[in-house]
Structure 1
Amino acid sequence: MDNMILGRYIPGDSIIHRLDPRSKLLGMILLIVISFWANNPLTNVILFTVSGVFILLSKIPLTFFIKGLQSMFFLIAFTTIFQLFFITGGEVLYEIGFIKITTYGLEQAGIIFCRFVLIIIFSTLLTLTTMPLSLATAVESLLGPLKRFKVPVHEIGLMLSMSLRFVPTLMDDTIRIMNAQKARGVDFGEGNIVQKVKAMIPILIPLFATSLKRADSLATAMEARGYQGGHGRSQYRQLSWMRKDSVALVLVGILGLVLFLLKS
């Protein structure tokens, strides 16, 4: 739980921090799409090099990105191992029973591993350099044209903002409840997988209860302040699209074109 950094913002004055949140959000979406085109060693080396440059430009310590990868370790490991052992094709390198490790399976496992790592790095870079409220405002702004089709754009942005805001709070509550249960003698590391799942019940029940209480308090506070939805509401933080935002998106587009031409 200590490795969960989703929703955490690291204040800074780097060039990436100063970009408009809309350009960062669009850039991250483009980079995630581009990462699916990286299907050979050359394209993956290019993308990892670019991600390293982004990390340096953000001036955020590498440890934060490592924590982001650690929080997704089991998902990455499970998907990679599944690709390695159960994807057939190519020359058989090792075989035991129904499990085969082939050259094609090894290649696909490497591609999936790199893809997961890149997506996590790009999404972590976005959340660490963008305030949750600014990110929600960016989503609301980008979805603005959908208002013509009666899509509740403001409510979507509000839900996103509150979700990102309370993710660290929920993680802190989880750690607090786990420590309290450990003090009462609960051991979360012993037993088989079934016993470990059962040991999580003393965490989930109080966490669910505190989440409901917090949601009720938040709703009461919003009603007390006269919240009536997005109609006619102004924004305290005004977004400003500048030349550097356009340049950043153009560079990401050029990167995508290069990788599209180099993909297998």
Structure 2
Amino acid sequence: MLRDITLGQYYQAESVIHRLDPRVKLVGTILYIISLFLFDHFTGYVAAAVFLIIVIRLSGVPFRYMVKGMKAIVFLLLLTMVFNLFLTPGETLVQFWKLTITKEGLRIAIFMAIRLTFLIIGSSLMTLTTTPNNLTDGMEKLMNPLKKVKVPVHEIAMMMSIALRFIPILMEETDKIMKAQIARGADFESGNIVKKAKALVPLLVPLFVSAFRRANDLAMAMEARCYQGGEGRTKMKPLQYKKRDFLAYAYLGCYVGIVLLIRKIGILP
């Protein structure tokens, strides 16, 4: 399951989305995530689904690969749905023992599941189609105005990029440690939730040691290359908007317009 996490990974492909300026993808991802929390109608989520499917098709990333990344959050999805389903007051639909399912709870549970699903897929799509270097450059460019108020833009962008990059690395490391401990007789499957949680404790020490070692190796590599932050640094490939980027912004603008239209007039309940 740990290997199924796609957030932070890069999928090599030759596609229109891969060639887009990282700033376009960052802005698009942010606006898409915001739009998911503006909808209170199923029509809005249909529009979001259509938008996402088109982008996935253009990205060249296999749909199965995208869905595979959802396996890691199935428990979170179910937990969110259960809480909303049983703890939201409103018009009663089904009642058994002390548990009550309301119309409002069912609606919110479905909406939250859709939001989380689209949010994870949309965020993963950005990292799958953007290299860490491009992602860092894009973040830095977008936050450039903050330099005027002495915000360390380059360092923030670098930290965010490294953090995203470390997600799949740490997941892979955790998987290796688990397999090594299973080979030594450790049991992570049997027992209740408490026992399973206790069984994971021995993973933490080697995982933290590995994480600190990797961080130290990265720091030493950066120092060996005389890295001193963003001051005075130049780019080998400076970011420049091209025609396809403006077309992407236009497509994004159409989506935002549809979102606002649905939000304003409330098409369909």
**What range is the shorter-chain TM-score in?**
over 0.9
Q: Which residue of 2 aligns with 1:254?
A: 254
Farther-moved stretch of structure 1 (250-259 vs 114-123): 250-259
Q: Which residue of 2 aligns with 1:104?
A: 104
Provide the TM-score with structure 1 as the length reference: 0.95
What is the rounded CA distance, in whole Å, between the counterparts of 2:218 and 2:60 in structure 1? 34
- Where 1:11 maps in the other structure, the secondary structure is coil
What is the rounded CA distance, in whole Å, between the counterparts of 2:198 and 2:138 in structure 1? 41
Aligned length: 263
Q: Which residue of 1 aligns with 2:22?
A: 21
Q: Which residue of 2 aligns with 1:192?
A: 192
What is the rounded CA distance, in whole Å, between the counterparts of 2:148 and 2:165 in structure 1? 28
Q: Which residue of 2 aligns with 1:241?
A: 241
What is the rounded CA distance, in whole Å, between the counterparts of 2:80 and 2:148 in structure 1? 41
**Percentage identity across paired residues of the two chains:** 42
Deviation per CA, 1:34-56, whole angstroms, max 9, x where unpaired? 11222212221121122111111
What is the rounded CA distance, in whole Å, between the counterparts of 1:165 and 1:117 in structure 2? 21
Deviation per CA, 1:150-195, whole angstroms, max 9, x where unpaired? 1111111111222222222212211111111001100001112221
What is the rounded CA distance, in whole Å, between the counterparts of 1:31 and 1:157 in structure 2? 21
The answer on whether the counterparts of 2:51 and 2:255 sit within 8 Å (CA) in structure 1 is no
What is the rounded CA distance, in whole Å, between the counterparts of 1:164 and 1:67 in structure 2? 18
Q: Which residue of 1 aligns with 2:113?
A: 113
Amino acid at match of 1:37: L
Q: Which residue of 1 aligns with 2:140?
A: 140
Farther-moved stretch of structure 1 (254-263 vs 72-81): 254-263
- Where 1:230 maps in the other structure, the secondary structure is coil
Coordinate RMSD, CA, aligned: 1.4
What is the rounded CA distance, in whole Å, between the counterparts of 1:59 and 1:220 in structure 2? 36
Amino acid at match of 2:46: V
Farther-moved stretch of structure 1 (254-263 vs 80-89): 254-263
For structure 1, the residue ranges without an aligned partner over 5 or more in a row are: none
Q: Which residue of 1 aligns with 2:231?
A: 231
What is the rounded CA distance, in whole Å, between the counterparts of 1:226 and 1:210 in structure 2? 24
Q: Which residue of 2 aligns with 1:70?
A: 71
Q: Shift of residue 64 of structure 1?
A: 1.5
- Where 2:189 maps in the other structure, the secondary structure is coil
**After superposition, where does 1:67-216 map in structure 2 within 5 Å?**
67-90=68-91, 92-216=92-216
Q: Shift of residue 59 of structure 1?
A: 1.5
Flag the 1:262–1:222 CA change in 2: closer, same or farther, 3 A: closer
What is the rounded CA distance, in whole Å, between the counterparts of 1:222 and 1:84 in structure 2? 49
